[in-house]
C-alpha cells in the first residue's frame, strides 16, 4: 500500500509524544512493505525532502510564510501550505489512504479526501474536551468541532486505549465499530554510559531522584507530584524531583514548589535532548506519571523499558498499562497525600521496587512492540479500501 501520513510534528521537531509515535509507526510500516510519504512542517537545518529508506520519504513543508497573529491562524496557514504541497505530490503518487494525526491536519486531510478521492484514517491521540475538562471558550470550541469534523469525514478512527474508544464514541457520537484500538509502542534505548558526576548535576548522592517527564501543562499533574514531596521529606526520605519538559504552566509549577517550601528540591530541566533524557532515566530511582487526563501514557512505557519502577494515576490509558502492585503502582488522580504514601512504600521496600521494575520491563518489551503495532495499523488501512 501507498500511505500518505500527515502530522504536524515529526523528529527532530518534538513537542509531545506525537512526533515519536509518528516516527516509529512510519518507520515500521516502511519495513513491513508499505510505502510511506510523511508530510510535516519545516524545521531549521533539515532538508525539505529526506529519504529515510527505500520506502519512507519525509516531506517538510515551509509553514511560516503566512503571517499569523495567533495559534489558530498559524494552524490554518499550515494546512494551506500542506494542501498546496500535497496537491502537487499527488500528481506523481497514487496513494491508497490518508492517515491524519490529530485535529491540526484535519482541514488539509479533508481537502485531500475530495481532491484525490482517497479515504482518511484519523488517529485521535487526545481530545480538547479531555485536555481542558470541558469546552470553555471559542478557541476550544473550534478545536473540538474540528476534531468532530474529522470523525465524520474519516473512514476509520484509531485510538490508543479502550478508555479513548469509549471517550471518542461518547463525545462525538461515533459508532464503536468505526473505532479501532491500537496502543502506542516503545523501543529500547541504546545503552549509555552514566557516571556519578552526571548524576550530581541533578541531585546529591544522598537524594533519591523522583523523575517526571512531560509537558508542563495542567493535565499532566506535576503540581500533584510537587504537593506530595513535603510528605515524603517529612517522613525522613531525602528526595528530589527532576522535572523534564516545558510548557505554559511551568511558572505556575515553580510557584507551587516555592509556596510549599520545596523549591530547592525540584529541578526544572526544561527541554532535554533524547541522549540527555536517556541518561536521566538511568540515574533516576522512580518515574511518576501523575496525570489528571491521559489517553495513553507512553512515558510510563519509557520508564518501564528503562527498568524504573513507575507510579501512575489510575486514569485513562495508564490504568490499562499498569497493574497495581504487579508492574507498577497506581494512585487516585489529583491526590498528593496518597501519592506520597505510595512513594514512601516504594522507597521503603527494595523487594517491591525490584519486582515491579522487572515485570514493568517485561510488559513494555513484550506487549508494546512497534512492529506488531504497524501490522495492526496496516490491517486498518486495508479495511478502508473494501
Residue by residue, what is the 3-state secondary structure of 259-300?
HCCCHHHEEEEECCCHHHHHHHHHHCCEEEECCCCCCCCHHH
Average pLDDT over the chain reads: 94
pLDDT band per the 50, 70, 90 thresholds, residue 147: very high
Q: Is the pLDDT of residue 300 over 80?
A: yes
Q: What is the DSSP letter of 48?
A: S
Q: What is the mean pLDDT of residues 131-145?
A: 92
What is the spatial distance between Cα 334 and Cα 313, in angstroms, rounded to a whole number? 8
Q: Which residues pair with 53 in a beta bridge?
A: 56
- Tally the C-alpha atoms within 13 A of residue 319's C-alpha that lie toward its C-beta: 14
Q: pLDDT-based confidence at 363, cuts 50/70/90?
A: very high
Q: What is the grid cell recorded at 3?
A: 500511505
Residue-level pLDDT at 295: 85
Tell me: pLDDT of 181 over 90: yes
DSSP state of 333: T
Give me the pLDDT at residue 16, please.
74
pLDDT of 274: 84
For strands 329-331 and 56-61, give the pairing. unpaired
Q: Are 365 and 305 in contact (CB under 8 A)?
A: yes
Answer positive or negative: Cα dihedral of 118, 121, 124, 129: positive
pLDDT at 194 over 90: no
Q: By C-alpha distance, which of 59, 63, 83, 61 is closest to 71?
A: 63
**DSSP string covering 54-78:** TTEEEEEE---SS--SSHHHHHHHH
The pLDDT tens digits of the residues spanning 306-334 come to 999 999 999 988 999 999 999 999 999 99
Closest to 118 measured CA to CA, from 94, 87, 83: 94
b/e per residue, 15-54, with b = 16+ CB within 10 A? ebbbbbbbbbbbbbbbbeebbbbbbbbbeeeeeeeeeeee
Distance, in Å, from the CA atom of 84 to the CA atom of 14, rounded to the nearest integer, reads 24
| pLDDT-based confidence at residue 29 (cuts at 50, 70, 90) | very high
Res 188: pLDDT: 85
pLDDT at 191: 84
Lowest-confidence pick of 9-18, 282-291, 355-364: 9-18
Average pLDDT over residues 124-153: 94
CB neighbours of residue 166 within 10 Å: 13
pLDDT at 386 over 80: no
| % of the chain residues with pLDDT over 70 | 100
Q: Which domains does the chain show, CATH number per domain?
A: 2-185+369-383 (3.40.50.2000), 196-367 (3.40.50.2000)
The per-residue pLDDT for 42 is 93
Determine which of 90-99, 156-165, 182-191 has the lowest per-residue pLDDT on average.
Answer: 182-191
pLDDT tens digits, 48-69: 999 999 999 999 999 877 778 8
Q: What is the pTM of this model?
A: 0.83
Query: For residues 141 and 134, what is the distance between their CA atoms, to the nearest angstrom?
Result: 10
CB atoms within 10 A of CB 345: 13
**Per-residue pLDDT, 187:** 86
List of residues 6+ apart from 332 with CB closer than 8 A: 313, 314, 338
Tell me what percent of the residues of the chain surpass a pLDDT of 90: 85
pLDDT band at 27 (very low <50, low <70, confident <90, very high): very high
Amino acid at each position: 500500500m501507498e500511505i500518505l501520513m500527515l502530522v504536524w510534528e515529526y523528529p527532530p521537531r518534538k513537542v509531545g509524544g506525537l512526533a515519536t509515535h509518528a516516527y516509529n509507526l512510519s518507520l515500521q510500516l516502511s519495513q513491513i512493505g508499505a510505502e510511506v510519504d510523511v508530510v510535516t512542517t519545516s524545521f531549521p537545518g533539515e532538508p525539505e525532502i529526506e529519504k529515510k529508506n527505500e520506502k519512507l520519504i519525509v516531506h517538510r513543508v515551509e509553514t511560516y510564510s503566512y503571517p499569523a497573529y495567533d495559534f489558530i491562524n498559524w494552524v490554518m496557514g499550515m494546512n494551506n501550505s500542506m494542501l498546496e504541497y500535497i496537491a502537487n505530490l499527488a500528481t506523481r503518487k497514487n496513494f491508497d489512504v490518508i492517515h491524519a494525526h490529530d485535529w491540526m491536519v484535519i482541514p488539509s486531510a479533508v481537502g485531500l479526501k475530495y481532491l484525490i478521492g482517497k479515504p482518511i484514517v484519523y488517529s485521535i491521540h487526545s481530545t480538547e474536551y479531555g485536555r481542558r475538562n470541558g469546552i470553555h471558550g471559542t478557541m476550544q470550541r473550534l478545536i473540538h468541532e474540528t476534531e468532530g469534523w474529522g470523525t465524520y469525514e474519516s473512514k476509520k478512527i484509531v485510538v490508543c486505549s479502550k478508555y479513548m474508544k469509549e471517550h471518542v464514541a461518547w463525545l462525538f457520537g461515533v459508532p464503536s465499530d468505526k473505532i479501532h484500538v491500537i496502543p502506542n509502542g516503545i523501543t529500547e534505548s541504546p545503552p549509555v554510559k552514566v557516571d556519578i558526576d552526571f548524576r550530581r548535576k541533578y541531585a546529591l548522592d544522598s537524594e533519591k531522584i523522583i523523575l517526571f517527564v512531560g509537558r508542563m501543562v495542567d493535565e499532566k499533574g506535576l503540581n500533584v507530584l510537587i504537593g506530595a514531596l513535603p510528605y515524603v521529606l517529612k517522613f525522613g526520605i531525602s528526595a528530589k524531583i527532576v522535572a523534564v519538559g516545558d510548557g505554559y504552566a511551568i511558572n505556575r509549577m515553580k510557584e507551587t514548589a516555592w509556596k510549599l517550601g520545596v523549591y530547592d528540591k525540584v529541578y526544572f530541566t526544561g527541554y532535554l535532548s533524547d541522549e540527555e533524557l536517556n541518561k536521566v532515566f538511568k540515574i533516576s530511582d522512580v518515574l511518576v506519571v501523575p496525570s489528571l487526563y491521559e489517553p495513553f501514557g507512553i512515558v510510563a512505557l519509557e520508564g518501564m523499558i528503562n527498568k524504573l519502577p513507575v507510579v501512575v494515576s489510575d486514569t485513562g490509558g495508564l490504568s490499562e498499562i499498569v497493574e497495581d502492585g504487579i508492574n507498577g503502582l497506581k494512585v487516585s488522580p489529583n491526590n498528593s497525600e496518597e501519592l506520597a504514601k505510595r512513594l514512601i512504600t516504594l522507597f521503603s521496600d527494595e523487594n517491591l521496587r525490584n519486582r515491579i521494575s522487572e515485570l514493568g520491563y517485561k510488559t513494555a518489551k513484550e506487549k508494546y512492540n512497534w512492529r506488531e503495532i504497524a501490522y495492526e495499523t496496516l490491517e486498518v488501512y486495508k479495511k478502508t479500501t473494501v
